[in-house]
Structure 1
C-alpha cells in the first residue's frame, strides 16, 4: 500500500472500482470514525499511522476500514481535533484530563505521595514499580562530569553545569549509541545521579546509597535537611517527572526521532528548559516571593509587576482551570515545614492580591519558589529541580520515539523571502563615515 500525504479535500467518494475484499472509507468517513477533522486524518497519514490510496480521478483518498478501526481502538477514545498546525503524538506516558494528570493511568499526585522519585521514574519508563530502587552514577562518568563542571566560570548557572555534565557523561559512555530499551534505561539510571553529583556542594555530602532527593539537597542548600523539607523535595521531583508534551519534551522527541542517543536527547530538553517561560519560571517566582517577604506584603510587589506590564510569576497554567495539582500537593507538604510558614503566607497573599486583577490560580512554579525561599536555596534551585526531575520524562518519551518511524517530524517551511530569480549579490561596500 502506498503512502499518500496529499492534503486536498472535496467531494470524496469511496473507491467505486475497488473489487477487493478490503472495505474502503472516504476521508470524511475516516474522520467521523476517529472523531477528528479531515485535516487530522492526513496528519495520521504523514506520520505513518494510516495508509491511504488515491481515489479514482485523483479526487481525495480512501482508507482501509480495518486499519482505521485498529487506530481507533489504539487511541481508545474519540479525540477532539487539534488546532491547525498542532502536532499530536500517541503516548502512553502522561494523560492530562479534567484538571488532573496521570502517569500510565495512575494519578500522578498519588504516586508522588506514596513513592520516591526513582520509583516514579521506573514506573514512567517501564510500567513496573521497583520499591526502594536507587540510581547509581558510574564512577568514570561522574569523574568526567565533575572535572568538566569545575572548569566552568564561577558565575555559571545550574543549567550551564547540567548541560556540560551531560556532554561529559556522554563522552565517557562508549555504549551511548545502544538505543535498545535496556541500553537506554542503563544510560538513564546512570545519567540522572551523575547530573546531581556533578553540581557543586553547598552542604554536607550525602551517602551514595541515599535517595536522589537527599543527594540533591546539599547541592541546593547549605542548611541541613529535616525530614519534612526533604519530603517536599522528593515529592517535587516525582511530580515534575513528566507533563505530557511540554516544549522541552517536544525538543527531546525531535532529537529521539533522529535516533540521537539518550544523552543528546536530554541535552535537547535542557536547551529548551532554560527559557524564562519554562523551567526558569520558578526563579522569577522566587525573586518575587523574596521581595514580598522583605516588604511585608504582596500588594506593592504585584502592583509593580502590573504597572510595568509584567505578568505575576507563579500564577496560571494553560492546562488547568483550577490550582495546579502539583502545587496543591506541595503546598500541603510545605504547611508541615515550620520555617516555610511566612513564605507560604506570602504566596497566598500574592494569589489573593493578584485575584483582584485576574482570577489566576497558583502553579507549581510558585510552590517551588516557596520551597527555595524558605530553605535558603538560590533563585535557580527550582530550575535545577525541574531539570533533574524532567530528565526521567525525556528518557520515557525517547523510548517511545525510538519505536516510531525515524525522522517523522519534518514540517514544511512557508517561505516568505524574496521570490527568485534574484541577482547575484556583490561584495558589500565600505561603511560610509559619519
Structure 2
C-alpha cells in the first residue's frame, strides 16, 4: 500500500522508499545503497518520517538496466519480470491466479495470452510440414533406448535447421516461431496409439496429441482436463534454473530455438526436471507394497528426501498441486494413486510439516494413466517452452549481454612460472 501523502505518477512526483524499491525490483535497503553510490538522490520532506525519491529518476535508473543489487546488500542478481509472481502460497501469471487460468482456459489459449496479452479462445498451434518432417527424421534416427528429453532436444535442433528465419528476432517472427515450435515438439514424439500423423490438424488441440505420445490408455475427457491443466500450471514458475539459462541465452540474442535448447539443457539436471519421475516411481512402489509407511521409511533410512513433498517457495501446499488434486478426484482411474499420494503425505506429516508439490500431483496422473516414469518430465518440458518464449521476449527488449556477472578469481596470484 502506498504511503500517505505520496503524489500520483506525474511530473515532479515523489516516491516513498518502498515504492522506489518496487519500481526497481530490489529490497528497500538496496535503494539506500544506490543513494550512497550516487545513483539516486533522496530528499526528506518537512515533517516526513522517511526519504522520498524523484519518480522520473527512479524510472530512468530502472530503464538503464540496474538489475543487480550492489554488493552491500548481498550482491544477488535480480531480474525484473512481468510474467510470474509467487506470493502467499499463490502463483500468478501477469497478476491472474494460475489456478483460475487452468480452470477456465486451455494451454494454447494461456500461452498465446501470456505472449501477446490477447486471450484468443480455441486457438490451435500447428507444426509446419517441413520442420515437422525434419524433426521426425532426427528423432527416428536416435537409438531405441533414447528417452523423451533426448527426442525433444534433437527435435528442436532439427526444427531450427529447417527454419531460415530463425535469426529474425522481431516480435512477430518470434511469436510465429513459438506457435509452430511447440506443436512440432509434440508431434515429433512417437505416437503410442495412432499411425504417424493421424489425428493431427488445425481442429485438435495439443493436449490429446500429447496424450497419445505418453500412453496407450484411452483419453477420457476428465483425464485430458487434468493434463491440460498441468500444462497451464507448469508454463512458468519465476526464475527456475532452466528459465535463468533461457534468459542468459536471450541476453546474448540467441534465436528462440537456441533459447529452448538452453532451457532443455538445464531441465535435464537431476535436481530440476527429473523430480516428477522420482515421485512416479515412489507411488508405483506404494501401490505394489500396499504401504506408504514402508516406502517413506526406506527413503528416510537411506537419507533421501521423500519425492513430491515440500517446495522452498511455498510454506504451505503448492497451489499447482492443489488444483491438480481437485481435478484428479473426477478421474476414476486415478483413485488408487491419489490415495497412495495422500498416504505418503499423511505418513510424512507425523515427523515433519511438508506439503505436496506439483511433482506429486503430476505423478498421480502419470501412474494412473499408465505412462512411463519420464512422462512427467515431458509434460514439464512442453509446458515450460511457452514460458521460456515469454521470458525471451522480455529479455530481447533489455540491454544486450546484461547477464554478465563478474567472477571472483581465487587462483594463484600472477606472475606464475610458465608450466
| Structure 1 and Structure 2 fold alike (TM over 0.5) | yes
Residues 1:388 and 2:382 are matched in the alignment: yes
Q: Could you tell me which residue of structure 2 aligns to residue 103 of structure 1?
A: 93
SS in 2 for 1:96: strand
Query: Matches of 1:389 and 1:28 in 2, distance apart?
Result: 35
Where does residue 207 of structure 1 map in the other structure? 200
Contact 1:199 1:219 in 2 (8 A): yes
Cα displacement string for residues 113-172 of structure 1 (whole angstroms, at most 9, x for unaligned residues): 110000000111111100000001000000000000111111111111101100000000
Query: Could you tell me whether the CA contact under 8 Å between 1:40 and 1:81 is conserved in 2?
Result: no
> 2-side partners of 1:169 and 1:40: how far apart?
45
Of the structure 1 ranges 140-149 and 275-284, higher mean CA displacement relative to structure 2 is found in 275-284
2:176 to 178, 186, 190: 186
Q: What pairs with 1:306-325 in structure 2 (closer than 5 Å)?
A: 306-325=300-319
**3-state SS in 1 of match to 2:142:** coil
Alignment length (residue pairs): 386
1:130 alignment counterpart: 120
Question: 2-side partners of 1:170 and 1:356: how far apart?
Answer: 51
CA distance 1:207–1:66, change in 2 (3 Å): closer
Contact 1:203/1:224 (8 A) holds in 2: no
* Kept after mapping to 1: 8 A contact 2:40/2:58: no
CA contact (8 A) 1:104 1:127 kept: no
In 2: Cα distance, 1:45 partner to 1:179 partner? 38
Deviation at 1:64, TM superposition (A): 8.7
| Counterparts of 1:395 and 1:309, CA distance in 2 | 38
Structure 1: runs of 5+ lacking an equivalent: 1-21, 54-62, 75-79, 426-434
1:228 aligns with 2:222: yes
| Residue equivalent to 1:376 | 370
The residue aligned with 1:196 is 186
1:72/1:353 CA distance change after superposition, 3 Å: farther
Alignment partner of 1:300: what SS? helix
1:84 aligns to 2:77 (yes or no): no
Deviations 1:80-138 (A, max 9, x none): 99972422111111111111111111111101111000000011111110000000100
Q: Tell me, what secondary structure is at the counterpart of 2:284? A: helix
In the TM superposition, what whole-angstrom CA distance separates every residue of 1:253-303 from its partner, at most 9, and x where no partner exists? 000000000000100011111112211100000000000000001111100
- TM-superposed CA distance for 1:39, in Å, is 4.7
Name 1:36's counterpart in structure 2.
27
- Distance verdict in 2 for CA 1:138–1:30, change over 3 Å: closer
User: For 1:23-422, what aligned pairs fall within 5 Å after superposition?
Assistant: 36-37=27-28, 39=30, 65-70=54-59, 84-204=74-194, 205-208=198-201, 209-422=203-416
2:6 paired residue number = none
> Secondary structure in 2 aligned to 1:95?
strand
Offset of 1:67 from its aligned partner? 3.4
1:113 aligns to what SS in structure 2?
helix
* CA gap 1:348/1:140 in 2 versus in 1, 3 angstroms: same
**For 2:90 and 2:21, how far apart are their aligned partners in 1?**
28
Shift of 1:51: 5.8
On the 8 A contact 1:37/1:81 being kept in 2, the answer is: no
Change over 3 Å in CA distance of 1:406–1:45 after alignment to 2: farther
Shift of 1:212: 0.5
- Report how far residue 185 of structure 1 moved: 0.4
